[in-house]
Amino acid sequence: MSSSLVESPRTFGDMMRMPVRFYKTIGEDIYAHRSTNELTSLLLKIYLYAGFINFNLLVCGELVFFYKSIQDFETVRLAIAVAPCIGFSLVADFKQLTMVVYKKTLIQLLDELEEMHPKTLLAQKAYKMADFERTMKRVISIFTFLCLAYTTTFTLYPAVKATVKYNFLGYETFDRNFGFLIWFPYDATSRNWVYWITYWDIAHGAYLAGIAFLCADLLLVVVITQLCMHFSYISGRLEAHPCDPDQDEENLSFLCSMIKYHDKCLTLCEHVNKMYSFSLLLNFLMASMQICFIAFQVTESTIEVILIYCIFLMTSMVQVFLVCYYGDALIAASERVGDAAYNQNWFQCSKRYCIMLKLMIMRSQKPAMIRPPTFPPISLVTYMKVISMSFQFFALLKTTYYRD
């Protein structure tokens, strides 16, 4: 058989490929500590910082535009239109800040997961890695498409529309509009070269925000997929263990190894919680308001604006669902460890073995989870809460707007 047809084991780097590659396009190198090319690392860092300085100047422009718009009832609709973009930008900013603040924790987490990753085909089959990876890839592909579709649509639509009208429909002037409502301290549409420089400056800022927003969640998906795989493996091993009463030493040795393995997984879950708890709190609060404002735009706008904002609405709802789904999966996978331990034939084993098993079951009753402050642990229940909050904001906004 040709060597090219022989199946090779999947590495941890294969699972990390998407977030690592996308992050590099904005200058963020997760594995910079392993790089041997100092010049490349320096240039990437300069590119990243310059990009975020530019992006935050654009966010300031959005905030000024929002402030000016709410001063007059006639322009309040414009404030409502820019509000979801401001929320998206602030969440992207905070996610990137989280990556910077917890960079050491992130490196340690990824290094330990890479060390624990099954290295051989036989081991990967035992871990059922192909099933976990297949689901993960589908989720990543859908969310990546939606997130990039949102930023691309908002960015390119005005230029494409103006080009079609000017070149193909016979309009005499080229409409110099932008996809985002931003205040500039200069006239950004006065001259052609000023307009296009500003336009592509906004386009880069939008792409950077989209990638920063996207990749933090892709990292979370990869990490939780790995942790669920390890919890599932522990559950399978515990349930399949024969518990032969005549082999007490082997039973104790096996259980000790599983307890250590379980404890390591729980420690890694605490790292994930430490990194993501505050950023996800902001994410959920902003998502509630984003979905509210986007829904208002969809109910009060023209067809073309509705189509653009529908993509934004889908992205926001899928992103919240994605995080909640994986938070729920993590809780379920860690709880199954206790069920698997109880399902053993433990009643045949020694008293010492039973005491150790009891402690493991008790520990698993406090499942691994991500716990944003003031919010319940992230699960599908959290998703229902976010959607409920969004509807309440939406009802309040509609009532206030039409009353005034």
| DSSP notation for 342-382 | HTS-GGGS-HHHHHHHHHHHHHHTS------TTSPPSSHHH
pLDDT category of residue 1 using cuts at 50, 70 and 90: very low
The whole-number pLDDT of residue 2 equals 47
Specify whether the CB–CB gap between 19 and 222 falls below 8 A: yes
Q: How many CA atoms lie within 13 A of 165 on its CB side?
A: 13
Alpha carbons 224 and 226: distance in angstroms, whole number: 5
Residue-level pLDDT at 297: 83
Phi and psi at residue 306, to the nearest 5° = -60, -45
pLDDT band at 306 (very low <50, low <70, confident <90, very high): confident
Q: How many residues in total does the chain contain?
A: 404
DSSP 71: T
Q: Is the pLDDT assigned to residue 402 strictly greater than 80?
A: no
**369 within 8 A of 311, measured Cβ to Cβ:** no
Confidence of residue 8 (pLDDT cuts 50, 70, 90): confident
- Locate all alpha helices (DSSP H) within 241-350, ordered by sequence: 248-300, 303-342
Contact 62, 180 (CB under 8 A): yes
pLDDT in tens, 134-192: 999 999 999 999 999 999 999 999 999 999 998 888 888 899 999 999 999 999 998 99
The arithmetic mean of pLDDT across residues 265-273, rounded, is: 95
Identify the CA nearest to 232 among candidates 368, 358, 356. 368
33-75 confidence digits (pLDDT tens):
888 899 999 999 999 999 999 999 999 999 999 999 998 878 8
Cβ–Cβ < 8 Å for 231, 337: yes
Give tens-digit pLDDT for 311-366: 898 999 999 999 999 999 999 999 999 999 999 888 888 999 999 999 999 999 99
403 confidence band (pLDDT: 50, 70, 90):
low
- Determine the Cα angle at 318 with ends 91 and 117, to 5°: 85
